[in-house]
Chain A
Amino acid sequence: MQFSESFRIAVSTLGVHKVRSLLTVFGTVIGVMSVVTIVSIIEGMNEYVSERLVAEGSNTFYVDKFGMITNYEEYLEAMKRKDFTMDDARAVERLAPAVLAAGAVAETRKTVRYRSNSVSGVNVRGVDERYGLIEAVSGVDVEEGRIISREDVLRRRAICVIGDDVKTKLFGGVDPIGKEVRVGRHTFRVIGVGEKKGTLLGISQDSFVRIPLTAFQKIFGSRTPVAIAVKARHQESYELAQDEVRAILRARRKVPFSKPDDFNIMGAETFMELYRSFTSTAYLVTVGIAAISLVVGGIVIMNIMLVSVTERTREIGIRKAIGARRGDIMLQFLIESLILSGSGGLIGVLLGVAIALLISGVTPLPAAIRAWAIIMGLAVACGVGTFFGIYPAARAAKLDPIVALRYE
């Protein structure tokens, strides 16, 4: 029998039981939908994060004494380590040929005020003059005014560069240059405004205040850990720069040859690795959920197909009497369960894409619809339909035509 005929029969049969067919494929819909939605969102985030991290930290890496702390003992151990200073940054820049610039930076969060306006949770960074240079080279520059200079740092001047968000929230339309803002309990004069950088996963990159590191340490205490931001000369010397910095710092910190580093180097790729390990877990969870709902969905399909075979026993008898072979009947019912689960998969894909787009529309989470996720969803749905359709189809094919014809 021709495939098209089986297809026609299946479509018309399923059309008769619209509600039943829809309920039958519910599990498949949910399974495929969750795969498509979650894959779209994770892929969207991957794309977004890697783009942003690459733009953000192109050729830049950070050195601090903590690194990835996962438990309290490690924290206590790390606390005992020597703090980095501006001198370390200077040494790195001077001694490492692959390094373009190295700057020291310490940070905290404070409320920033101007007259009656205030912004809380602002990222306050104490920086030296080389840090500003690194940012400027990375394409993030001050839009108005100037960056923090060597003089500012040496003289511990109470001046600051503010982010675009802080400017908008504190000053509105007023020109902030020369105005005095309060960071915690201290007053700083605005000398520059940073270029607008936008948001990263919904978090503003423009809610910051930069002050001279010397002023920072005087106000917030010199115990606040200092990190060193290092910019390699170019992409090719990125890894070389890391090696040079490691050697220089080990020497300066007198780390014995046999001991591991008492500091940590983190580049964009370190964040990416961490991020990927999170998303791969999310993938596993998704696959698990989807697998369960697809198996349950497949069993529901099998159940309904068995009901359908019983209901249509007489039809099967008639078809056999007029010449349908076992294979014809088998094919008819297999195609029926295939169409059932395939349309479930299709609905799932459409819903999944719609939900992913909706989420990316109303939340900061981006979404990237992947063809492979859609194809895989449909293929798995069809596979489930075929697999769970085999038993009912075989039952139908094996029916004795005489018994089937007599069935009421």
Chain B
Amino acid sequence: MSGLIELKSVTKIYEVGAEKVHALRGIDLELSSNDYLAIMGPSGSGKSTLMNLIGCLDTPTSGSYRFKDREVKDLSDDELARIRNKEIGFVFQTFNLLPRADASHNVELPLIYAGVSRAERKSKVEAALKAVGLEDRARHRPAELSGGQRQRAAIARALVNEPSVILADEPTGNLDSKTGEEIMQAMGKIHDAGNAIILVTHEEYIAKHARRIVRLRDGLIEADEVV
């Protein structure tokens, strides 16, 4: 099945002072609803910009980005927030958990913004924490968790609203290789359960977990290969 994400001639130009930075120069990319894609490339190649666009945190300068057949640049701010909330699960390199909230509350947040009832939130949070093996750490704050546990809490948060796609930006970047491997196993399981995943990394061995690797250079796709 195709057509979850569809980018056509997408460009992104930032204006830094008087200078124009061409972060993306024309990207064509399609993602089906059960893809597992790794985006690779050196720094400055446009990985993060592409991630932000796909994640509906930003809109393209030109070209078309359709998410589930909706043209993203036509959407309002609130509609973009809605897509981020319901359709996309973010996993960041630096975890980005709220430091003062415990693991369970961090996982609960997307449900709160989705307007899910308290009772339903409780059961969903429990299920999500259980899925990442963190059920006995629910009441711990991020500072009381190890790096791997934090990233698993972040994954639980990304999963809790049953999104269409998980966007993972260097999810293992702040972890040692053994923990990183554990996280990638967890990502694998999520994909096996039927989720689409987009993974940004510059580690070849991490990218190998994906089914498909897209290589970026200078804002253009250099290669799009199946693993």
Chain A residues within 8 Å of B, Cβ to Cβ: 1-2, 5, 12-13, 16, 314-315, 317-328, 401-402, 405
Residue in B closest to A322 when the chains form the complex, CB atoms: B110
Instruction: For the complex, give the distance between the alpha carbons of A100 and B121 in Å.
Output: 82
User: Chain B 95-115, CB within 8 Å of chain A: the 1/0 string?
Assistant: 011101000000001101111
Instruction: For the complex, give the distance between the alpha carbons of A5 and B86 in Å.
Output: 19
Q: 8 shortest A-B CB distances, which residue pairs?
A: A323-B85, A325-B81, A323-B113, A325-B78, A322-B110, A318-B96, A323-B84, A401-B57
Instruction: For the complex, give the distance between the alpha carbons of A329 and B121 in Å.
Output: 20
Does B92 reach chain A (CB closer than 8 Å)?
Answer: yes
User: Chain B 166-208, CB within 8 Å of chain A: the 1/0 string?
Assistant: 0000000000000000000000000000000000000000000
Instruction: For the complex, give the distance between the alpha carbons of A357 and B121 in Å.
Output: 48
Instruction: For the complex, give the distance between the alpha carbons of A324 and B81 in Å.
Output: 6
- A322-B85 in contact given A2-B115, A328-B113, A405-B96 (Cβ < 8 Å): yes
**Structural contact, A1 and B115, CB atoms closer than 8 A:** yes
User: Chain B 38-66, CB within 8 Å of chain A: the 1/0 string?
Assistant: 00000000000000100101100000000
Main secondary structure of the interface of B (DSSP, over half): helix
**Structural contact, A5 and B112, CB atoms closer than 8 A:** yes
Residue in A closest to B113 when the chains form the complex, CB atoms: A323
Instruction: For the complex, give the distance between the alpha carbons of A405 and B109 in Å.
Output: 16
**Structural contact, A321 and B55, CB atoms closer than 8 A:** yes
**Structural contact, A402 and B84, CB atoms closer than 8 A:** no
Chain A hits for B161, CB < 8 A? 323
**Structural contact, B113 and A402, CB atoms closer than 8 A:** no
Instruction: For the complex, give the distance between the alpha carbons of A322 and B113 in Å.
Output: 8
Cross-interface CB contact of B157 among A13, A317, A322, cutoff 8 Å: A322
**Structural contact, B57 and A321, CB atoms closer than 8 A:** yes
Chain A hits for B52, CB < 8 A? 402
Residue in A closest to B78 when the chains form the complex, CB atoms: A325
Does B70 reach chain A (CB closer than 8 Å)?
Answer: no
Does B74 reach chain A (CB closer than 8 Å)?
Answer: no
Cross-interface CB contact of B109 among A13, A322, A326, cutoff 8 Å: A322
9 contacts between A and B (CB under 8 A): A318-B97, A320-B57, A321-B55, A323-B81, A323-B86, A328-B81, A328-B113, A402-B57, A405-B57
Instruction: For the complex, give the distance between the alpha carbons of A320 and B114 in Å.
Output: 12
CB neighbors of A among B70-95 (8 A): 77-78, 81-82, 84-86, 90, 92
Instruction: For the complex, give the distance between the alpha carbons of A325 and B78 in Å.
Output: 5
Residues of chain B at interface, number, CB under 8 A: 25
Chain A hits for B84, CB < 8 A? 320-323
- A315-B78 in contact given A321-B57, A325-B113, A401-B57 (Cβ < 8 Å): no
Cross-interface CB contact of A322 among B58, B77, B90, cutoff 8 Å: B90
Instruction: For the complex, give the distance between the alpha carbons of A324 and B84 in Å.
Output: 9
Chain B hits for A321, CB < 8 A? 55, 57, 84, 90, 96
Say how far B53's CB is from chain A's closest CB, in angstroms. Answer: 10
Residue in B closest to A401 when the chains form the complex, CB atoms: B57
Instruction: For the complex, give the distance between the alpha carbons of A317 and B57 in Å.
Output: 10
Instruction: For the complex, give the distance between the alpha carbons of A321 and B52 in Å.
Output: 10
Say how far B203's CB is from chain A's closest CB, in angstroms. Answer: 21
| 14 further A-B pairs in the complex, CB-CB below 8 A; given A323-B86, A401-B57 | A16-B100, A317-B96, A319-B113, A321-B57, A321-B90, A321-B96, A322-B110, A323-B113, A324-B113, A325-B78, A325-B82, A326-B77, A326-B78, A405-B57
Chain B hits for A327, CB < 8 A? 78
With most chain A CB atoms within 10 A of its CB, the pick from B82, B100, B112, B161 is: B112
Instruction: For the complex, give the distance between the alpha carbons of A5 and B78 in Å.
Output: 19
Instruction: For the complex, give the distance between the alpha carbons of A314 and B99 in Å.
Output: 11
**Structural contact, B115 and A402, CB atoms closer than 8 A:** no
Say how far B115's CB is from chain A's closest CB, in angstroms. Answer: 7
Chain B hits for A326, CB < 8 A? 77-78, 81
Cross-interface CB contact of A315 among B57, B81, B98, cutoff 8 Å: B98
Residue in B closest to A326 when the chains form the complex, CB atoms: B77
Say how far B58's CB is from chain A's closest CB, in angstroms. Answer: 6
Chain B hits for A5, CB < 8 A? 112
**Structural contact, A325 and B96, CB atoms closer than 8 A:** no
With most chain B CB atoms within 10 A of its CB, the pick from A315, A317, A327 is: A315
Say how far B24's CB is from chain A's closest CB, in angstroms. Answer: 14
**Structural contact, B58 and A320, CB atoms closer than 8 A:** no
Residue in B closest to A324 when the chains form the complex, CB atoms: B113
Chain A hits for B157, CB < 8 A? 322
With most chain A CB atoms within 10 A of its CB, the pick from B82, B92, B96, B157 is: B96
Chain A hits for B85, CB < 8 A? 322-324
Chain B hits for A318, CB < 8 A? 96-98
Residue in B closest to A315 when the chains form the complex, CB atoms: B98
Instruction: For the complex, give the distance between the alpha carbons of A266 and B154 in Å.
Output: 81
Instruction: For the complex, give the distance between the alpha carbons of A326 and B79 in Å.
Output: 11
Chain B hits for A325, CB < 8 A? 77-78, 81-82, 113
Chain B hits for A322, CB < 8 A? 84-85, 90, 109-110, 113, 157
Instruction: For the complex, give the distance between the alpha carbons of A325 and B83 in Å.
Output: 11
Chain B hits for A315, CB < 8 A? 98
With most chain B CB atoms within 10 A of its CB, the pick from A2, A314, A321, A325 is: A321
Chain A hits for B90, CB < 8 A? 321-322
Chain B hits for A13, CB < 8 A? 100
Residue in B closest to A405 when the chains form the complex, CB atoms: B96
Residue in A closest to B108 when the chains form the complex, CB atoms: A5
**Structural contact, B78 and A1, CB atoms closer than 8 A:** no
Chain A hits for B57, CB < 8 A? 320-321, 401-402, 405
Instruction: For the complex, give the distance between the alpha carbons of A212 and B90 in Å.
Output: 99
